[in-house]
């Protein structure tokens, strides 16, 4: 028995020795290059492309090795006249003995100078499409069958003990040539994996140049463990990628929308430094920063983790521009694999207008003429949403230290905007643009003769102004808007509006203010208005109800007019087409006005009457007090007409009618003041002038109206009784009719007396001198 065993062992060793000797000497007797032609022909038959192999060498012990040199695979017909792929050297060495146990142990796998050229034409044809088609048509099983087979089949025993001392790729180059852009080249590519096995982490190093821009990847992967139970989600990975400068000029054809604010893309670059870690429990960590170097320096930094495959926790995301921190966000993104939803807290840093003007120079011109423009803006908010909408939860907007709170939601596709805005106190004037007025050209002549330099400059400036361009708001037609604005106090152009409330609703291009309410100057204002943006130009209409508002500050703020004082109540209904000043030509509507306890500035009705009764009387201030002023008006294409003006004061009763040209800002108005009280103490010595009526004509621009009496013979005759004092003619009328001072006694005795004038001519002449006609 012992002898038999000894013989068996001895013969086995002899056979093994002979096998090893055969493996060692076989390569010297077998020329593998004799198979080169068969391999080249087989590839060409399968792909239609020519394959050339320089040399093939092989070894069988102590490892099985195959080395190919100078391998070239031709490009597809109709594409660039260069190789589709080439390799300078491909060297594979496998350990022999592990193969006997169906295990793969790679001693060395090396690819030197691989070069792959990928090309696509304008019509979508590619130089690899035929290879994919050939593979798909080679009689493979249906995809679903293949997937089922893959799912049911156990892991390959050959891979169960995969080992390799080294896997290397040296000096590789991959080119992507798209007909629509310049080629993108990944060159100087080096990949190195050492000590590849399943029980310990494997080091991976990758370096190269992307279109001339260097990058490095340094990572560890694994241990892989049992490949049959490998889960990529729990595969340990730790690595870092770094690219100091990736110039964007090589990718400019791929970047379709490059903002002009970032300067020339040919001088722009990106720097990237990112770290990533995946732990066996599935937790993924990442942090890093990407920097855009262009006309602006923009840096985005982040630190995130994923405890679950479908949830991203944003620990920190920060944005900085030109070294200034702008905003920082924290929160989470859920349902990454289905319908992503996010919830983020975003906090902004204070932004000064002077700093923003460096990126938006128009800010300088918008506020160049403003005496005190806004200085700073800051915000913080909680945002929640998904791919369809975003909710704004408690936005805190600081406008020059004044707090505005905003909440609501925005649906992207429609868009549908729902907002609620509230503030305690807000000064609006600093935020209203006020450009600097252009200096007028020197010289200029007004219509009535030489103008002052200031007036000439103003005329020239107005002449040089271009008409405002009518905005096209039809893009708002699909929008839906629901907004509510509340403010304890709003300050605007010297006005203080309390308990400010407005509701805004819009859809289909129709936007309504219903209603707008606020307290103003001791009274209240209620307005309803609508804007039709569905057509061009847009049209609007409004209805305003004003109760007991002090009119002086209101007119000064809205129209820069200082003509009236008093307590105003008014109702108006107006409409127009267009939103520029030229639209005033289309203004139509009407209304009524009631004012009490006020004054009209710019002209003195009582003074005009005093001049009529006593040319030597001193003039008082240019204003007329009244206890009541009322009337109604209609507006036809920008011209307001009034036929029932009535004004009452202790001295006067005034009626009137006329027009106000709102387009050219001109007055053409006739009034008839009738004296109902005494003028004593107001420059007249007569006790009573009751019944005296002096018609006045008010004409000219709003800011400089002209007031002149309308005198005729019938006017004098009508007022004669009021001008008589106790049966005698007095004042200017007495002098004219001879009832006052005697004739000129200084005239020479020998001078012939002038022919007598008729009483009518004496009246007109005297009144003309009194009023400067």
223: exposed, middle or buried (C-beta count within 10 Å: 0-12, 13-18, 19+)? middle
Any domain includes 313: no
Q: Which tens digits make up the pLDDT trace of 748-771?
A: 545 555 555 544 444 344 333 333
Going by C-alpha positions, the residue among 30, 75, 20 that lies closest to residue 52 is 75
Q: Does some domain include residue 3?
A: no
Residue 32 lies in a domain: yes
- Interval 247-260: pLDDT, tens: 888 777 777 778 88
Q: Is 37 exposed, middle or buried (0-12, 13-18, 19+ CB in 10 A)?
A: exposed
Give residue 482's pLDDT band: very low, low, confident or very high (50, 70, 90): very high
Express each pLDDT in 580-612 by its tens digit: 888 889 999 999 999 888 887 766 666 665 555
Dihedral sign of CA atoms 611, 613, 617, 621 in order: negative
Q: How far apart are alpha carbons 305 and 8 in whole angstroms?
A: 63
pLDDT at 324: 92
pLDDT at residue number 352:
93
Inter-residue contact 164 to 191 (CB < 8 Å): no
Classify burial at 520, counting beta carbons within 10 Å of its beta carbon; exposed 0-12, middle 13-18, buried 19 or more: buried
Residue tagged 């057509």 (tokens): 535
Please tell me what DSSP assigns to residue 265.
Answer: G
Task: Give 444's pLDDT tier (boundaries 50, 70, 90).
Answer: very low
75-89, 194-208, 363-377, 703-717: least confident range:
703-717
Rounded distance between C-alpha atoms, residue 64 and residue 69, angstroms: 17
At 99 the pLDDT is 56
**Mean pLDDT of all residues in 474-496:** 92
Q: How many separate domains does the chain show?
A: 1
58 in a domain, yes or no? yes
Q: Does residue 378 lie within any of the structural domains?
A: no
Domain membership of residue 128 as a residue range: 22-132+157-197
Average pLDDT over residues 89-105: 67
Give yes or no for a contact between 335 and 341, defined as CB atoms under 8 angstroms apart: yes
Using the 8-state DSSP alphabet, how is residue 369 labeled? Answer: T
pLDDT at 484 (0 to 100)? 96
Helix orientation angle between 605-613 and 759-771, rounded to the nearest 10 degrees: 140
Can you give the C-alpha Rg of the chain in angstroms? 48
Cα torsion angle, 723, 726, 732, 733, sign: positive
> What value does the mean pLDDT of the chain take?
77
The pair of structure tokens assigned to 431 is 């935020």
pLDDT at residue 24 is higher than 80: no
What span, in angstroms and rounded, lies between the C-alpha atoms of 685 and 329? 83
- pLDDT band for position 540 (50/70/90)? very high
More confidently predicted of 3 and 453: 3
Residue 143 has pLDDT above 70, yes or no: no
CA distance 215 to 212: 10
Q: Is 221 inside any structural domain?
A: no
Higher pLDDT, 553 or 746: 553
Kindly state whether residue 64 falls inside one of the protein's structural domains: yes
Q: What is the pLDDT of residues 690-739, one digit of tens each?
A: 566 778 888 988 878 887 877 665 666 566 665 555 444 444 444 433 33
Dist CA 758 CA 752 (whole Å):
18
Task: Give me the phi and psi of 21, to 5 degrees please.
Answer: -60, -40
pTM: 0.66
Does 583 map to a domain? no
Report, as an integer, the average pLDDT of 472-497.
Answer: 92
Residue 674 confidence (pLDDT) above 50: yes
Residue 648 confidence (pLDDT): 84
Per-residue pLDDT band for 501 (boundaries 50, 70, 90) equals very high
């Amino acid at each position: 028995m012992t002898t038999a065993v000894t013989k068996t062992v001895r013969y086995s060793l002899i056979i093994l020795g002979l096998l090893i000797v055969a493996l060692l000497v076989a390569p010297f007797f077998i020329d593998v290059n004799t198979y080169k032609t068969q391999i080249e022909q087989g590839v060409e038959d399968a792909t239609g492309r020519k394959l050339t192999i320089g040399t093939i060498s092989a070894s069988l012990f102590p490892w099985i090795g195959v080395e190919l040199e100078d391998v070239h695979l031709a490009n597809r017909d109709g594409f660039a006249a260069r190789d589709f792929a080439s390799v300078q050297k491909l060297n594979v060495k496998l350990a022999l003995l592990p193969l006997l146990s169906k295990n793969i142990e790679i001693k060395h796998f090396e690819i030197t100078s691989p070069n792959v050229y990928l090309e696509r034409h304008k019509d979508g044809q590619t130089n690899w499409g035929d290879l994919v088609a050939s593979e798909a048509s080679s009689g493979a099983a249906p995809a679903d069958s293949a997937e089922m087979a893959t799912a049911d089949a156990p892991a390959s025993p050959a891979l169960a003990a995969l080992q390799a001392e080294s896997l290397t790729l040296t000096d590789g180059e991959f080119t992507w040539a798209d007909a629509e852009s310049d080629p993108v080249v990944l060159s100087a590519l080096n990949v190195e994996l050492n000590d590849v096995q399943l029980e310990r982490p494997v080091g991976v190093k990758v370096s190269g140049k992307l279109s001339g821009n260097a990058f490095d990847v340094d990572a560890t992967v694994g241990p892989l463990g049992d490949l049959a139970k490998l889960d990529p989600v729990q595969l340990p990975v730790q690595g870092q990628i770094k690219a100091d400068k990736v110039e964007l000029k090589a990718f400019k054809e791929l970047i379709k929308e490059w903002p002009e604010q970032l300067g020339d893309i040919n001088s722009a670059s990106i720097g990237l430094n990112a770290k990533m870690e995946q732990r066996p429990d599935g937790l993924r960590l990442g942090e890093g920063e990407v920097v855009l170097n262009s006309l602006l320096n923009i840096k985005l930094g982040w630190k995130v983790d994923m405890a679950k495959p479908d949830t991203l926790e944003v620990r920190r995301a920060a944005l900085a521009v030109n070294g200034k921190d702008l905003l920082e966000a924290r929160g989470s993104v859920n349902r990454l694999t289905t319908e992503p939803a996010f919830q983020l807290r975003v906090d902004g840093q204070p932004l000064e207008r002077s700093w923003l003007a460096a990126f938006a120079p128009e800010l300088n011109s918008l506020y160049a003429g403003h005496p005190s423009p806004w200085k700073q803006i800051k915000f913080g908010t909680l945002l929640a949403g998904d791919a369809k909408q975003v909710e704004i939860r408690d936005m805190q907007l600081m406008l020059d230290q004044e707090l505005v709170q905003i909440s609501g939601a925005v649906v992207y596709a429609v868009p549908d905007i729902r907002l609620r805005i509230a503030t305690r106190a807000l000064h609006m004037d600093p935020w209203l643009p006020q450009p600097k007025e252009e200096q007028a050209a020197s010289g200029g002549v007004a219509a009535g003769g030489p103008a002052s330099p200031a007036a000439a400059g103003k005329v020239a400036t107005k002449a040089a102004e271009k008409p405002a361009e009518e905005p096209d708001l039809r893009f708002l037609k699909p929008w839906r808007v629901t907004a509510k604005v509340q403010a304890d106090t709003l300050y605007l152009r010297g006005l203080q509006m309390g308990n400010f409330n407005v509701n805004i609703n819009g859809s289909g291009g129709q936007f309504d203010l219903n209603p707008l309410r606020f307290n103003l100057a001791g009274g209240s204002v209620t307005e309803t208005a609508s804007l039709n943006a569905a057509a061009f130009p847009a049209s609007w209409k409004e209805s305003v109800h004003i109760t007991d508002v002090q009119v002086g500050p209101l007119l000064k703020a809205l129209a820069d007019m200082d003509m009236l004082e008093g307590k105003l109540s008014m109702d108006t209904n107006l409409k127009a087409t267009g939103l520029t000043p030229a639209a005033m030509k289309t203004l139509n509507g009407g209304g009524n006005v009631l004012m009490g306890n006020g004054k009209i500035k710019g002209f003195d009705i009582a003074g005009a009457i005093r001049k009529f009764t006593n040319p030597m009387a001193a003039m008082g201030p240019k204003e007329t007090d009244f206890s009541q002023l009322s009337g109604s008006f209609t507006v036809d294409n920008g011209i307001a007409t009034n036929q029932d003006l009535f004004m009452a004061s202790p001295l006067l009763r005034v009626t009137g009618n006329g027009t106000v040209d709102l387009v050219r800002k001109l007055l053409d108005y006739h009034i008839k003041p009738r004296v109902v009280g005494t003028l004593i103490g107001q420059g007249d010595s007569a006790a009573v002038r009751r019944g005296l009526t002096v018609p006045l004509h008010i004409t000219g621009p709003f800011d400089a109206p002209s007031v002149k009496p309308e005198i005729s013979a019938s006017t004098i005759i009508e007022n004669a009784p009021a001008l008589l004092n106790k049966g005698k003619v007095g004042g200017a009328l007495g002098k004219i009719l001879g009832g006052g001072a005697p004739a000129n006694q200084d005239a020479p005795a020998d001078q012939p007396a002038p022919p007598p004038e008729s009483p009518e001519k004496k009246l007109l002449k005297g009144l003309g001198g009194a009023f400067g006609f």
